[in-house]
Structure 1
Amino acid sequence: MDAQLQKTTQNLTTAADMRVTTQMLMQPSANWEGYLTPAPLSIAIMGELVFISSTTDFSINKNPPKKGFKYIKYPDSFRASLMQICNSGWHAFNLAHKNMDQIRIHTFTVPDYMKAVVKILFQGNDEIVETLLPNQLENIRSISDECVKLAESVEKKYEYVIKIIQELLEACINANHVYGEELENVRMKLEENKLKEQTSKELNERSKKAMEAMSKELEETQEQYKKAMDSIPSGWETIGMDLVEGMTSVLKVFSSGAAFCKGLIKNPFGSEINLLDKGEDVDMIAEMKICS
């Protein structure tokens, strides 16, 4: 009965039908170029990150999480965080390369096991099938389990990289908010300093104009002072002026005495009579000496 069933199955299912069926089953997972395309793009992005990390550095540890960062090792340095992502990505790609090579080696033996299974199934002997088929299927199962473990280890590695990137993005957005407030304060201070600078410049210009006016007034005052000093007579001139003034006084005295003597000469007796009338003692000899 089993032999007839196998024969009937073989007649119904040809090799071409099996290839078509396998192609239909593997079609959803056959877009390998779509899975491999992001790899070069990721490597290029990692190179850009390395370039950026070599030029700019700042802290992303502004308002950190309450429990701290889980994946970022160096929150005080954005450059170090980028290098951490690059190194983690390199380890993930390296592990994926090794595991893919191991998967390739493991899956390379699967076609042989499948051929052996087909041969066993077409033997037509139930005892042979029961004896040999489980071992072949176990080999295929162990290979598939090992490939799954290798793929999961690669997935975990890439997941770790993704979590680092996500945490770094959150930290950068949070730090950008804090830095934005600080930047706004700095901008306001810059505007304030600019206004102060403009006011100071205006005051300096006013002070300069005032200094120029004061300098001009000082020069005029000095010129007036110089003219006044030039108009003051010197020491010899002062002595000459005093001498002239003394001579003038002496001349006045002599002119007064001469006038008096002249009066006596004209009317000597009249003056005597007048003096006697006044009851005063007149020394005639003294008057004569004065007139002399």
Structure 2
Amino acid sequence: MAAAGGPFQAITKATVSPAEEDSVRKEAELLLKPDAKWEELFMPAPASVAILGELACLCARQKADVSIKENCPEDGFKYIKHPESFRACLHQMCDRTGEALNQLYVKMDGSRLHSMFVSRKMNQITQGFFQNAQAGRDQLQSGRQNIQNKAEKCTESAQAMRDVVSEVISLAQEMLLACQEAEHGCEQDLTDVQQKLRKAKEMEQSVRKAMEDAQLKQKLTEGNIKQALSKIEKALTISFASCCDISSGVSDKTEWIKEQISKVESRGEALRGSQAEEHRSFENTIKLMKEQTELLCELKASEMSERDLETTKEMLIERRVALAKAEEQWEKMLQLSCMISNLIQFCFTWDIEECLASAEGIQQATHAFNASNVAWMLYMITKIFTQVYTDHLLDLLHSSGKILTLEPSDPDFSSEHAKIDRGCAEAQKAISSLVLEMKEEFKRNLTAGQETIETMKAAQHP
């Protein structure tokens, strides 16, 4: 569990050692002061639901789903049911959040009734001490078992709350860890694709250069062929004209023709060599073009993979950040349940025991009054939570769950999204108002009780 900050650091621990009891008592006294920031205890509930709602909106707008089963534990996930789909995991998280908040409501409502009973009973006993020390002590002795039973039920409820909240935290943490592992796997795949992409680009550039060289060579070969053909054609033309020249002697003419034929054969041999070279160059060009086409296809596929992986990585980061925020809010709710448990166990019980152990009436009345205050504060805390749940959290949960079933093009999508934003703000505003109202009531009760104690002191020591 994350460490609690502020004046409630020790009191929000799940267990408190005997050496820490005095510290817990003092911090409980701070919490009982009317200026304590009680609203900080309740804000995480609507905030956690709103975060899930925003995450649901984000997933709906990004039509592509993402898997978080990368590097799955050998024995599988303990809480996640469908790691191949983050959207399915989010459904599970939203459902579990709704169930958990409903269970918290039931436990809080039971604690509200128990703490109200104990507070009223301890207030009656305080009045009894004011009228007669022995009468007050007798009332406390006779009602002690019933009070203790109520306190134990509150403690059991607080423990059940801690268990419920811890389960949601465990699911959120497992999803968070799965997102981190998937993100790391995505980063490695992205690195591999980018390396493959660089190599493919280098090879494509090499093939492109080879093609340019081959095409240049082919042009030169074509030029040589044309030149050779031109020379052969010219030689044949001259030879034919010489054959028709009757002024030349037959012998001379024959020798000259043989010489021309020899030249033409030599040029023909060069022509055939150029043609063979042209054929080889053509085949090489075809081979290079095929290789270039394959490389271009590989480049295209790698670029698409790179874009897909970058998109997946961004999606995983967004989901991881949102889950971390939701997990943080649930950690704060765990602090609330631990605080309730410790208040009952270490503050409320102390005052009752010390009340019985004290011999002097004013001290007994003071301890009884303190026990009443603790119980009344628990009553107010649980009442605020149950009221916020019924008035605001239920609607928030409904909108967050409904978002997961809608397409962004659906007209209800925008209205449900707006309800999430508005619902969270309204819940936080209601919390502030309720806390202020309860503080005023607590302050009036505190003042009245203190005045009673002072009156009792004045009566005993005129």
Q: Which TM-score band applies after superposition, normalised by the shorter structure?
A: 0.5 to 0.7
RMSD of aligned Cα (Å)? 4.1
Match in the other structure for 1:165: 172
Amino acid at match of 2:207: S
- Alignment pair present for 1:44 and 2:50: yes
Per-residue Cα deviation, 1:150-176 (whole angstroms, up to 9, x for no partner): 333222121011112222333344444
**Alpha carbons 1:116, 1:136 under 8 Å: kept:** no
**Alpha carbons 1:53, 1:82 under 8 Å: kept:** no
Q: Per-residue deviation at 1:104?
A: 3.1
Q: Identity, % of aligned pairs?
A: 30
**Structure-2 separation of matches of 1:201 and 1:173:** 41
Q: Indicate how the Cα distance of structure 1 residues 25 and 169 shifts in structure 2: closer, same or farther if over 3 A, else same.
A: closer
Match in the other structure for 2:100: 92
Match in the other structure for 1:144: 151
Alignment match of 1:207 (pick from 188, 192, 214): 214
- Any stretches of 5+ residues in structure 2 without a counterpart? 1-25, 251-462
Match in the other structure for 2:31: 28
Aligned positions of 1:71-220 closer than 5 A: 71-118=79-126, 136-220=143-227
- Any stretches of 5+ residues in structure 1 without a counterpart? 1-22, 249-292
Secondary structure of 2:170's match? Answer: helix
Amino acid at match of 1:114: M
Amino acid at match of 2:159: E
Per-residue Cα deviation, 1:233-253 (whole angstroms, up to 9, x for no partner): 69xxx9xx69x89xx9xxxxx
Name the stretch that deviates more: 195-204 or 106-115.
106-115
**Structure-2 separation of matches of 1:128 and 1:78:** 61
How many residue pairs get matched? 218
Give me the TM-score of the superposition, normalised by structure 2: 0.38
**Structure-1 separation of matches of 2:227 and 2:219:** 12
Match in the other structure for 2:72: 64
Per-residue Cα deviation, 1:207-244 (whole angstroms, up to 9, x for no partner): 2222333343444455556656766869xxx9xx69x8
Name the stretch that deviates more: 31-40 or 113-122.
113-122
**Alpha carbons 2:93, 2:172 under 8 Å: kept:** yes
**Structure-2 separation of matches of 1:167 and 1:25:** 33
Aligned positions of 1:3-18 closer than 5 A: none
Secondary structure of 1:192's match? Answer: helix
Q: Per-residue deviation at 1:198?
A: 1.0
**Alpha carbons 2:79, 2:170 under 8 Å: kept:** yes
Amino acid at match of 2:38: W
**Alpha carbons 1:53, 1:80 under 8 Å: kept:** no
Give me the TM-score of the superposition, normalised by structure 1: 0.57
**Structure-2 separation of matches of 1:134 and 1:143:** 15
Does 1 or 2 have the higher relative contact order (CA < 8 Å, sep 6+)?
Answer: 2
Match in the other structure for 1:254: none
Amino acid at match of 1:50: A
Q: Which has the larger radius of gyration?
A: 1
Q: Indicate how the Cα distance of structure 1 residues 155 and 195 shifts in structure 2: closer, same or farther if over 3 A, else same.
A: same
**Alpha carbons 1:121, 1:129 under 8 Å: kept:** yes
Q: Per-residue deviation at 1:193?
A: 0.8
**Structure-2 separation of matches of 1:203 and 1:154:** 73
